[in-house]
């Protein structure tokens, strides 16, 4: 919480106290003291707010606030000792003690937290959005991803070896989060297993917990831990970007991962077109946007396969045929992924019925009319995925799970199937998510059978939808 959020109401309270004291008892001392310190507090709060708008801290304001609060504690505390009156002396002294402590804490911890400058794709707009997005999209397009199926597969094999083989009971969702996080770390950022990756996993968990907590920045709160973790992650990632830049200088053109490919995007004068801060913030965005969403999708597919024998049999048949068509131990190819048509239709229907992303904001660029309502230019509109996916004018019998609706019939009209959003901000990780889901399902059904350990088929919001208890299952190796 910023100092001005409390200081301005505190100042108003002190001013009103002074005026009430004068009105009731004719005390000019109350009036002068209340107006004097109250107005000083309001002024200090206002200056701090102005500084915050300029992305700065005003230490002058913080010191003025501390001095006013300490003086009020002293004066009103002494009055309370003399008169033993709770109203107003005791109350004002009590509030002032707390405020003095709060201001001292703010000074000791470096003032208000100034949010990082917008360098992340989800917050950029116009030309900046296009520039950073096209840099990301160039790496996430199918032609590039084709080359990385093998690496993705290695991560899946290693994950199953460590976390599934030889086990009887496991919980799917946390394991899938570990898997998708590791895939992103290896493929996109070239962070191999080891101490650095372990730290990143831990800090990202804290960031995610902080993201959905009440934004009050006090020590030991989730929000405070999230901010600290975010600062640590940024430092680790900055080091990583610098290491990769040095490596690039030594060995000219290497397009091994997303970071190197972003560093390789150069302007006419060989200047890097995507800044270091932009790279760091977009790595963080991809980590947050890309690993929970895919983990949720794969977990719900695992649950579906345990609940629906017909769908399980059809997927198993498709995946076994692909496995049999290859020499033992050979890696999957782009052509194999293209053959997984039924499996992907099941995934699409899962995404229709349980979209991991609830919706998103858009801003109207001009006045628009929608179903008789006028939405003025500049308003924020929130689109909700399920409202569209459950519309029976678009999908007949929307509550029925039916992967065949994605067979080669008339294509679904634009903006009617939107688990990945739509338009210029549509998820650039679509193809990445598709490949990692298909590769994972291929290995799961070919290597294991499973049954659910919990009969609760409900969905909890965390705030993304998650299966009850994280989906505990019993497994058997084939």
What are the binding residues?
427
From the DSSP assignment, how many helices (H) and strands (E) are in the chain? 17, 9
Contact flag: residue 467 with ligand HEM (CB under 6 A): no
* Of the residues 11, 403, 419, 467, which one makes contact with ligand HEM according to CB under 6 A: 419
CB 473 within 8 A of CB 172: yes
Asked if residue 114 lies in contact with residue 231, where contact means CB atoms within 8 angstroms, the answer is no
Measured from the CB atom, the residue of 194 and 423 that comes closer to ligand HEM is: 423
Measured between alpha carbons, how far is 124 from 281 in angstroms, rounded to an integer? 11
Does residue 357 belong to the site contacting ligand HEM (CB under 6 A)? yes
| Whole-angstrom distance, CA of residue 304 vs CA of residue 207 | 30
Q: Contact between 122 and ligand HEM (CB under 6 A)?
A: yes
Query: Is the Cβ of residue 160 or residue 347 nearer to ligand HEM in the bound state?
Result: 347
Stretch touching ligand HEM by CB under 6 A, among 13-21, 207-215, 282-290, 446-454: 282-290
Rounded to an integer, what distance in angstroms lies between the CA atom of residue 37 and that of residue 424? 53
Q: Which H or E run contains 414?
A: none
- Which parts of 310-349 interact with ligand HEM (CB under 6 A)? none
Which range touches ligand HEM (CB under 6 A), out of 62-70, 248-256, 320-328, 419-427? Answer: 419-427
Position 133 contacts ligand HEM (CB under 6 A)? yes
Q: Which of 356, 465, 467, 470 binds ligand HEM (CB under 6 A)?
A: 356
Q: Is the peptide bond before 88 cis (omega within 30 degrees of 0)?
A: yes
The interface mask with ligand HEM, positions 358-377, x = CB under 6 A, is --x-----------------
3-state secondary structure of 448: strand
Cβ closest to ligand HEM, residue 50 vs residue 122: 122
Q: Does 21 help bind ligand HEM (rule: CB under 6 A)?
A: no
Which residues are registered as beta bridge partners of 84?
none
CA distance 393 to 413: 11
- Contact between 189 and ligand HEM by CB under 6 A: the answer reads no
Q: Which of 285, 316, 412, 468 binds ligand HEM (CB under 6 A)?
A: 285
Matching residue, tokens 């969403």: 293
Exposed (0-12), middle (13-18) or buried (19+): which is 2, by Cβ within 10 Å? middle
Point out which span in 75-83, 289-297, 323-331, 397-405 binds ligand HEM (CB under 6 A).
Answer: 289-297
The owner of tokens 């372990």 is: 198
Q: What residues contact 176, with CB distance under 8 A and at least 6 apart?
A: 294, 295, 296, 298, 299, 302, 440
Q: Which stretch binds ligand HEM (CB under 6 A): 47-55, 158-166, 299-307, 356-364?
A: 356-364
297 C-beta neighbours (distance < 10 Å), count: 24
CB of residue 279 to ligand HEM, shortest distance in Å: 13
From 17-25, 44-52, 145-153, 355-363, give the range in contact with ligand HEM by CB under 6 A.
Answer: 355-363
* Position 66 contacts ligand HEM (CB under 6 A): no
Cβ 72 vs Cβ 45: under 8 Å: no
Instruction: Please report the beta strands in 187-322, taking only residues with DSSP state E, as ranges in sequence order.
Output: none
Query: Which residues are within 8 A (CB) of 191 and not within 5 positions of it... i.e. 6 or more apart?
Result: 185, 197, 200, 240
Our CB check for ligand HEM shows the closer of 79 and 131 to be 131
Q: Is 428 in the site for ligand HEM (CB under 6 A)?
A: yes
Binding residues for heme: 427
Separation CA 308–CA 290 (nearest Å) = 27
Least distance (Å) from ligand HEM to the CB of residue 298? 9
388 lines the binding site for ligand HEM (CB under 6 A): no
Nearer to ligand HEM, 190 or 422 (CB): 422
Residues that bind ligand HEM (CB under 6 A): 121-122, 133, 136, 285-286, 289-290, 293-294, 297, 356-357, 360, 419-423, 425-429, 432-433
């Amino acid at each position: 919480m910023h100092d001005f959020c409390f200081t301005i109401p505190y100042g108003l309270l002190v001013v009103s106290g002074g005026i009430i004291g004068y009105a009731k008892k004719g005390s000019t001392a109350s009036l002068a003291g209340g107006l004097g310190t109250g107005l000083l507090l309001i002024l200090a709060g206002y200056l701090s707010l102005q500084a915050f708008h300029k992305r700065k801290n005003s230490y002058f304001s913080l010191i003025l606030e501390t001095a006013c609060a300490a003086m009020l504690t002293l004066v009103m505390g002494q009055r309370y000792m003399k008169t033993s009156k709770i109203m107003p002396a005791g109350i004002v002294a009590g509030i002032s003690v707390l405020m003095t402590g709060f201001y001292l804490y703010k000074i000791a911890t470096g003032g208000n937290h100034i949010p990082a400058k917008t360098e992340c794709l989800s917050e950029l707009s116009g030309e900046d959005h296009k520039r950073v997005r096209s840099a990301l999209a160039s790496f996430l397009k199918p032609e590039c991803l084709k080359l990385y199926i093998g690496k993705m597969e290695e991560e899946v094999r290693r994950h199953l070896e460590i976390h599934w083989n030889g086990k009887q009971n496991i919980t799917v969702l946390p394991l899938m989060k570990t898997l998708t996080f590791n895939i992103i770390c290896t493929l996109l950022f070239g962070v191999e297993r080891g101490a650095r990756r372990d730290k990143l996993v831990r800090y990202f968990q804290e960031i995610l917990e902080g993201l959905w907590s009440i934004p009050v920045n006090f020590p030991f709160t989730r929000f405070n831990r999230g901010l600290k973790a975010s600062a640590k992650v940024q430092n680790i990632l900055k080091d990583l970007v610098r290491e990769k830049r040095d490596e690039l200088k030594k060995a000219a053109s290497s397009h091994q991962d997303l970071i190197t490919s972003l560093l390789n995007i150069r302007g006419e004068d060989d200047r890097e077109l995507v800044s270091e801060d932009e790279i760091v913030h977009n790595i963080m965005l991809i980590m947050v946007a890309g690993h929970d969403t895919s983990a949720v999708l794969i977990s719900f597919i695992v649950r579906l396969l345990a609940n629906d024998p017909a769908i399980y049999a059809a997927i198993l048949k498709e995946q076994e045929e692909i496995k049999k068509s290859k020499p033992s131990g050979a890696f999957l190819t782009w052509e194999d992924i293209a053959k997984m048509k039924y499996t992907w239709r099941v995934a699409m229907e899962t995404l229709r019925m349980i979209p991991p992303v609830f919706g998103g904001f858009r801003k109207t660029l001009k006045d628009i009319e929608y179903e008789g309502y006028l939405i003025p230019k500049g308003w924020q509109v929130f689109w909700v995925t399920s409202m569209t996916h459950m519309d029976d004018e678009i999908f007949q019998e929307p509550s029925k799970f039916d992967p065949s609706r994605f067979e080669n019939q008339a294509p679904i009209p634009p903006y009617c199937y939107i688990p990945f959003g739509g338009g210029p901000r549509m998820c650039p990780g679509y193809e990445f998510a598709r490949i990692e889901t298909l590769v994972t399902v291929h290995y799961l059904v070919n290597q294991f059978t499973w049954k659910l350990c919990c009969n609760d088929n409900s969905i909890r919001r965390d705030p993304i939808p998650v299966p009850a208890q994280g989906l505990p299952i019993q497994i058997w190796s084939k």
